Amino acid sequence: MEILAFGVTADERPLLERAFAGEHEARCLEVLLTEDTAPIAAGYEIVSSSVNADLNARVLNILADGGTRMIAQRSTGFNNIDLDVAARLGMTVGRVAYYSPYSVAEFAWTLAMAVNRRIVRASIRTRDFDFRLDGLMGRDMRGRTVGVLGTGKIGEAFTRIAHGFGMNLLGWDVAENPACTALGMKYVDKDELFASSDLISLHVPLLESTHHVIDAAALKAMRDDAILVNSSRGGLIDTEALVAELRAGRFSGIGLDVYEAEAGVFFLDKSLEAVEDDTLARLVTFPHVVVTSHQAYYTSDAVGQIIETTVRNVADYLAGRRSENTLVPGPA
């Protein structure tokens, strides 16, 4: 059987093709799965999507009309899929419930240290043979306070690195993680975490209850010289409110690997097009803001695990099995 995979990067393609070689075959497309590209899937029973696919009701109906019966999403997040519609259409939907938490945790720290030590600005300067240190002063992390919003597997991995830096650890989650508590983490309410943290890192999923968890009020509660990092989901931050605070001269650094309106922008080359998103255009102009294109997960280890799990999800679907990765089981 041939599986059609959308949103496949050049680095991912050989891994995906090799993983499906043998009993199955993967046809890999660089284009993202959207309403415009969904007709390409006509005749394919199994379609694999990336995290920035748009699997709304219209897309799912197009896929179902073309004969698609299984969606194998190559990510942990699934807020881009209308699961209720998929269930009504009798489709099976699978995701990757787990992959290396270290990939995201380490990248979150990469962003934190990049903005703290002004690495991007310093690199641009030295490329122009400007070796001045003016404006490049950072600060030690040791002895300062980090607030970790969400202490699951990724949040725990981030906390372990923070512990290695010798930081004071604050956490917030619906349930405490004993591993984080053992490291000395103190669980507090969000307001105390915002007000007391020198560095805040977001590791909660995007749910109705967490949408804009960093809103205007939360931003105002943070220290003027705080560093904020988001490597989870863009919708956790009210970006317009963030830009307003940045315009007021607040915050020491912002590191964003995700953006709430990233669909149709991230993973694509927009360098020759006019920028239509005024908020994003303004955001990237701040010298102490670093924006990357949803690449925190993008290590050979994590991508390899994602692909291995996707192959298992396809095998489970064909065998009529369910697993922890099954979001919609399809017809019995």
Q: Which residues are catalytic?
A: 233, 262, 294
The closest of 80, 87, 99, 152 to 327, measured between CA atoms, is 87
Rounded to a whole number of angstroms, the CA Rg of the chain reads 21
User: Could you give the 3-state DSSP secondary structure of residue 11?
Assistant: coil
* Reduced DSSP (H G I as helix, E B as strand, rest coil) percent helix, strand, coil of the chain, to 5: 35, 15, 45
CA–chain centroid gap for 177, Å, is 21
For 204-227, give one letter per residue: b (16+ CB within 10 A) or e.
bebeeebebbbeeebbebbbeebb
With contact defined as beta carbons under 8 Å apart, do 232 and 204 qualify?
yes
Beta-sheet strands, E only, within the chain: 2-5, 25-28, 46-49, 70-73, 92-94, 145-149, 168-172, 186-187, 199-202, 227-230, 253-256, 289-291, 326-329
